[in-house]
Amino acid sequence: MNKELSILLPGSFFEEGYQSKLELLSEKNFDCVYLFDHTVNPSDGRKAMYEIKKAISLIQNNSHYSFDLGLCVLNVNRRKLDLLFTKYINPMLEIEKFRLGLGTGDNRYEKKIKEFSHDLDSIISDLVDQYKFSHKGRNLFIGGTSQKKIDLVKKYSIGVNQWFGDEKKLQSLIDNIGNKKSFLGRFSHCQKTDISYSDLSSNFEKIFVLKDSDIEEFYSQVDKILL
């Protein structure tokens, strides 16, 4: 696995000059542009929020992009199971090399509402049986490094994403798993644009979380990542 630099779009991304911003991201050769599941986040409902499916459509229709697309991460417990697949997961996985992240919610960043209790293990099992995933192709990963999540990573050889936090934990995880199997997703770490973690090896994808900002500040954040 080679070093990869990707970004996670803020909720206000499509509010101002998004065509120019998409062109910039394509020119800078980022590996992947991730969307966030803003339909269940943030707890502050006054903030701008793009809808996942609409955002994907805008990117596909308004940019000759060179990057892959991904979702970091889809909360499986906030939607009915049939709608989760028919309206979100299946259409996204029709996109070439789409990087799909699945999660179960986090009370720290989301409103403290839990509507469903879907079995994440069963969902992953169904996806692995139905779709072909690989590190270089269509990707499947899980958000979070709890023991239950790590057990799923080991069971299915999928990837894992850590949201901020101690990157050494993520490094230790992949070191312990080793390269016994071909991973079906990447190991990634979300981090702020003004922080560069030096302890991460080139095995990891760095996902820089962009802040809501005006267009000039957006350009500034992108420049910081590439310094």
pLDDT digits (tens, 9 = 90+) for 64-86: 888 999 999 999 998 899 999 99
Domain containing residue 92: 4-226
Share of the chain above pLDDT 90, in %: 57
pLDDT of 94 reads: 96
- C-alpha torsion sign, points 155, 159, 164, 167: positive
Domain count, the chain: 1
- 190-199: Cβ within 8 A, 24+ apart: 190/8, 190/72, 190/161, 190/162, 190/163, 190/164, 191/164, 191/167, 192/164, 193/221, 193/224, 193/225, 194/224, 197/167, 199/167, 199/168, 199/171
Q: What is the pLDDT of residue 176?
A: 80
CATH of the domain at 38: 3.20.20.30
Q: pTM to 2 decimals?
A: 0.91
Residues 6+ apart with CB under 8 A from 17: 215
Mean pLDDT of 99-116: 73
Judged against a pLDDT cut of 80, whether residue 58 lies above it is answered with yes
pLDDT at 108: 54
- Which two structure tokens, joined as six digits, stand for 31? 């590996």
Helices (H), the chain: 18-27, 52-62, 81-83, 90-92, 120-130, 147-156, 167-177, 215-226
- What is the pLDDT, as a whole number, of residue 1? 39
pLDDT in tens, 117-139: 899 999 999 999 999 999 889 99
Q: Kindly provide the b/e burial profile for residues 70-98, where b requires at least 16 CB atoms within 10 angstroms of the residue's own CB.
A: bbbbbbbbbbeeeebbeebbeebbeeeeb
pLDDT for residue 38: 67
Look at 56-60, 100-104, 170-174 and tell me which has the smallest mean pLDDT.
Answer: 170-174
Query: Is the pLDDT score of 114 beyond 70?
Result: no
Residue 192 has pLDDT above 70, yes or no: yes
The pLDDT value given to residue 10:
92
Q: Per residue in 22-54, pLDDT tens? A: 999 989 889 999 999 866 555 566 777 899 999
Q: What is the average pLDDT value for the chain, to the nearest integer?
A: 86
Asked if pLDDT for residue 181 goes beyond 70, the answer is no
- Tell me which amino acid residue 211 is: K
pLDDT of residue 57: 95
Report whether the peptide linkage leading into residue 73 is cis, meaning its omega lies within 30 degrees of zero.
Answer: yes
pLDDT at 7: 96
Greater confidence, 107 or 148?
Answer: 148
